[in-house]
Structure 1
Amino acid sequence: MRNFFYGWYFKCQSATQTLAVIPAVHKSEQKKFCSIQIITEHHSWKVDFPVAAFHRTGEDIRIGQNRFGKRGILLAIHTPELNINGKSHFGPIFPLKYDIMGPFSVLPFLECRHSVQSMRHFVQGRVYVNGQEYLFQDAFGYWEGDQGCSFPKEYVWTQCGFPDGSLMLSVADVPVAGFRFRGVIGVVLWKGREYRLATYLGARAVQAQNGKLRIVQGDLELEARLLEGVKRPLKAPANGDMTRTIHESAACQAFYRFRKGEHIFFSFKTDRASFEYELSK
């Protein structure tokens, strides 16, 4: 079996606090192990576990005493750098109508396949991170995943929950059969309706530089701008091993606008956005 990684990304966010949790399993030529990464507005941590600590049962996964699935997450990690315990329960999840990768989901040898398990769900719970309480009452939740061998060489990812909606957008360098192209996948959930923007539907990134993204697909246009963020380091897979360092702003200032023709669905500035900007220009 070739080198690989498989991981989930859970985001729990109240009006004042953000906690993201990334459980994953990895295999490279050197080793096979699993990990849990924690990211808040101010800190990030990575804890490794032996691969024997990883178990998957149906739609749930477990790493040691930590559990993850559509019903919620349970955390119990105790190291010299990180002491975290608590649990959060999820309300009904909101999956997409079909795979975010569309027809690309059946292409062999893609270095990374993205998935979205829930665009929006309620979160109730309490988690303590090094003594600090993260309290979630009717808070916002988001859940996605990735699997493959490596993260894209260059990419931008952003996610944000807001009143009446939620969005996710990624623009990435995609290698296929000896050539590369800039691929787009994105979803806007707005007042219960799903709007999808993707390369396989004709979406194009007409702007992707200096923290700005502008995606056009027919008469739909989604704009995302990173205004100010505090980047926290995370480990990402490179050929199955967690040797690459990327940076995420878990709760940062950003601007979003979504329109169809002359009709603007929404246009707002927020300090609750999540952004990873890994483009060289």
Structure 2
Amino acid sequence: MHHSFYGWYFKCQSDTQTLAVIPAIHNTGNKRTCSIQVITDNDAWTVMFPADVFQRTKRNIFIGENRFGEKGIHLAMHTPQVTVSGRLDFGMLFPLKYDIMGPFTLVPFMECRHGVWSMRHPVKGNVCINGQKYFFRNAWGYWEGDRGRSFPKEYIWTQCFFPEGSLMLSVADIPMAGIHFTGIIGAVLWRGKEYRLATYLGAKVVKIQNNIVRVIQGSLELEARLLETSGRPLKAPLNGNMVRTIHESASCRAFYRFRKGGATLFAFETDRASFEFEYFS
């Protein structure tokens, strides 16, 4: 059995609360396990399960009594550390026009492949975590997935909802055939229009330091700036094994600016951004 992982990431956010849930399965050569990670504004928990309770169809993942998919999420977990119960229903998904990996979907042996299933969809429902209630009404959701062997050694990932849209950007050090290159995938949904930023479309990183990343592609420029972290330790795959610790801020302060042809389409500061800044330069 080879080293690998497969996981989905669901983020649900209201005006006051953020909840992210990551169901995943991991193979480490001789052992298969699965897990559910739960991340809130202030906490994060990982609940491990035996692999035989994991089932996946094209559009759903089941881990024991927990269900995840295009219609929503149902949670039922009880461990000494965390008790989670509740249900969230999703409205109409907003998928991208084509695979975020573009032609890289066809490249074999990639360390990690990314999928974005919905940039923005309505969420409603309630979840209770250790007695604390999370109420989602007129809330928004985002859904993506990863599969492969390991998360990139160095990468930045961010996602944010804003009044007229949603954005995601991932910049990573990609090892391939003995060389390394900086891979970029990003999507900006703004006023019903989708803008795509990607290495395969000619995107380049012009700055990546001091918690700032700036990407240009033709006349487009996207800048994301992490202003204040509240990163919670999360488990990430290394050769399929969930032994690496990364830090995600599910809801933190950030600044974003998107320009086209020198004109600013939007620029805003928010305290509702999700950010992982795992670059060490």
Q: Which TM-score applies when normalising by structure 2?
A: 0.99
CA distance in 2, matches of 1:235, 1:61: 19
- Code of the aligned partner of 2:279: L
CA distance in 2, matches of 1:171, 1:75: 31
- Separation in structure 2 between the aligned mates of residue 118 and residue 26 of structure 1, nearest angstrom: 23
Q: Partners in 2 of 1:57 and 1:203 — Cα distance?
A: 34
Task: Give me the whole-angstrom Cα distance separating, in 1, the residues matched to 2:104 and 2:176.
Answer: 10
Deviation at 1:247, TM superposition (A): 0.4
Aligned to 2:69: 69
1:47-94 Cα offsets, whole Å, 9 max, x none, are 000000101123111000000000000000000100000000000000
User: TM-score normalized by structure 1?
Assistant: 0.99
Q: Which string of whole-angstrom CA distances, capped at 9 and with x for unpartnered residues, describes residues 200-232 of structure 1?
A: 000001111110010000110000000012010
Runs of 5+ unmatched residues, structure 1: none
Match in the other structure for 1:26: 26
| 2:256 counterpart of 1:225 | no
Quote the offset at 1:263 in angstroms.
1.7
CA distance in 1, matches of 2:9, 2:71: 15
Cα distance in 1 for partners of 2:58, 2:233 equals 31
Name the counterpart of 1:123: 123
Moved more, 259-268 or 213-222: 259-268
Q: Which AA in structure 2 matches 1:74? A: H
| Post-superposition CA distance 1:235-257 (Å, at most 9, x none) | 00000100100000000000000
Cα distance, 1:30 vs structure 2: 3.9
Deviation at 1:29, TM superposition (A): 1.9
SS of 2:269's partner is strand
Match of 1:58 in 2: 58
Provide the rounded CA distance (Å) in 1 between the counterparts of 2:90 and 2:140.
9
SS at match of 2:61: strand
Q: What is the CA–CA distance in structure 2 between the aligned matches of 1:154 and 1:58, rounded to whole Å?
A: 30
Q: State how 1:1-281 maps to structure 2 within 5 Å.
A: 1-281=1-281
Q: Which moved more, 1:52-61 or 1:198-207?
A: 52-61
Give, as a single letter, the amino acid of the residue that structure 1 aligns with 2:225: R
AA aligned to 1:218 is G
Partner SS, residue 47 of structure 1: strand
Q: Which amino acid aligns with 1:108?
A: P
Map Cα deviations across residues 99-154 of structure 1 (whole Å, 9 max, x no partner).
00000110000010000000000000000010000000010100000000000000
Shift of 1:262: 2.2
SS in 2 for 1:105: helix
SS at match of 2:105: helix
Separation in structure 2 between the aligned mates of residue 58 and residue 96 of structure 1, nearest angstrom = 17
**Whole-angstrom CA distance in 2 between matches of 1:265 and 1:130:** 42
Cα distance in 2 for residues equivalent to 1:173 and 1:84: 35
RMSD: 0.7
Number of positions where the alignment pairs a residue of Structure 1 with one of Structure 2:
281
Whole-angstrom distance in 2 between the partners of 1:277 and 1:266: 22
TM superposition outliers: structure 1 runs of 4+ over 6 Å: none
